[in-house]
Structure 1
Amino acid sequence: MDVVERMVEESANEEWIRVLTERPSNRGEKESRYIQAIGESRFTLRELVPANGADLSPGDRVAVESEDITDVHRRLTYQTLTQAAQDSLKATIEDIIADRLSLTPAGAREATLIDGELKSTGDDINLGDVLIVGNVREAGGTELTHDDHLERVEGFDVEIY
């Protein structure tokens, strides 16, 4: 199995999703309602069929294999999301990242400072790395990584392997 096939297979097997919105069915569709959601591990956009009586709201975290979900209907693209789902997507992704990183308010402030410092010198690193570095620098820790671009962050203790 090549890398692309493995990524497609893994994205199909999201274990946890965050609800973006619910949409009613269109004429001719089998189910009466659908939820549009994003997977937490691969950020895969999916449309799922909620169980009858399942009370799912935007922002809810749900296990795909739970009794609240009866079927994974289809994979979505950004363009196929409803406007409500598109509107909530950025905030939902930020929530997933913050939960994964256990981002503290002090770490978020530090990340904001780091982002400003890097931009003022013409350097830039991706948002995920900025959040990690902010949390680690605020806590006085050391980052062990293979990402040598993190050495550009002033006052950040990093060990490259």
Structure 2
Amino acid sequence: MNTRQYIRSFLVAALLMATITGQSKAQNFSETCRNISLQGKYLSAVCMTSMKCTPGIESPCICDFLGMNCRIGRPTAIDLNQGISNLAGALKFKGTNFSTTCSNLHLEVKSGYEVAMTGSVTLHAKCKTGGLLSLDIPAALDLNTGLSNNKGVLLFDQ
């Protein structure tokens, strides 16, 4: 392993540990969660807790890309209506009840392809712009920018 790969691996491991232990503002929940899906306005996933595990013995056991950091996975869900709003046809964190004015909700989940890349989880919808001539326009929001995994529980960042 060359120096550059070592530094990238170290930084990714440090960020992952900070996310798991809750020592810093988390985000990028998809780095420590699997089986991410959307049922109506509820986002669900199986997310790493702080408890270590051994793959094949404890289940579910979720490991990082290198397989060196393995943690027990916990099923969790969050009502996206409790932290996302529709502001003139745009989805925004810090607000509530976006689903009352948005329809056709779906997720686009992409995995990171190498250690230094973060995957993405994007919420897509058609949202009303409001006003007299309210239109339904496409809207998208990267959920990794406002959701965190706190020891196996999905939370909105404050």
Common topology (TM > 0.5): no
**Greater percentage in helix:** 1
In terms of Rg, which structure is larger?
1
TM-score for the superposition, normalised by structure 2? 0.24
TM-score for the superposition, normalised by structure 1? 0.23
